[in-house]
Amino acid sequence: MRCVRPGRAPSLRGVRLNGQVLILDADDTLWENNVVFERVIDDYLDWIAHPTLDRAAVRGILDDIERANAVTHGYGTKVFLQSLAECFEKLRERPATAAERDRIEELASALIHHEVELIPGVAETLDELGSRHELMLLTKGDREEQQRKIDASGVAHHFREVHIVPEKHVEVYRGLAAARMLAPESTWMIGNSPKSDIRPARAAGMNAVFIPNAHTWVLEHDELDEADERVLKLGSFRELVQHF
């Protein structure tokens, strides 16, 4: 993967592309998401204040629980609350009392009532991109929770289609390409997650735009092929208009 420069990438040829299909990720690409979870985890670690384990050790235990729960229960606030309660039980070697469960919910109230915070430049950029390209939204997680965020975002009208899936495997991308007869060379997956956006889209033959978010969840990290010239890496969402 590298920054595409004029003359280096046959897919861009140094000119702005027109008439592409742009599939956009939502959490941590259009709006902040994981940073809100991170703030809750910080408060939780303060509250747990384990007598022998340091914060990193407790965080490691929580990450393992979240990783396992993601496989069986998917993503979202509900499963996150469950992971916090399970982590408590493991550390204290007893289940949380009703009052302790209430406390955990209170710590996560920012998530439960979270208002969508668009990443700077997203609204204007979608306006411009939507005038030249076909935009689709592809997000994973709890259907109801994701839909609520999409409705609250104020940018849903830009997307011809919205897909909410439990997990973003390569089959999801292949299925979408086949169902919508998308030409891989003019289809781009745009997102912050190497694991859920970039790698599976590339495996399905699409191009990808990687826009890292400083707060990307550790479970979304993955290796990317630095030499892959069909991955465009950008520093911000706004930069998309320079290429599309």
Residues in contact with Mg ion by CB under 5 A are 25, 27-29, 192-193
Closest separation in Å from C-beta 29 to Mg ion: 5
Closest separation in Å from C-beta 62 to Mg ion: 20
Cα distance from N-terminal residue to C-terminal residue, the chain: 18
Kindly state the DSSP code that residue 33 receives in the 8-state scheme.
-
Q: Looking at 93-242, list the stretches that DSSP marks H as alpha helix, in order from N- to C-terminal side.
A: 98-107, 109-112, 122-132, 143-153, 170-179, 199-203
Nearest to Mg ion of 35, 110 (CB atom): 35
Nearest to Mg ion of 30, 104 (CB atom): 30
Nearest to Mg ion of 89, 239 (CB atom): 239
CB 104, CB 85: distance < 8 Å: yes
Nearest to Mg ion of 12, 135 (CB atom): 135
Nearest to Mg ion of 27, 66 (CB atom): 27
> Helix or strand or coil: residue 14?
coil
Closest separation in Å from C-beta 103 to Mg ion: 29
- Residue 51 to residues 55, 85, 89, 92, 125: CA-CA distances in angstroms? 10, 18, 15, 10, 49
* Phi and psi torsions of 27, nearest 5°: -60, 125
Closest separation in Å from C-beta 28 to Mg ion: 4
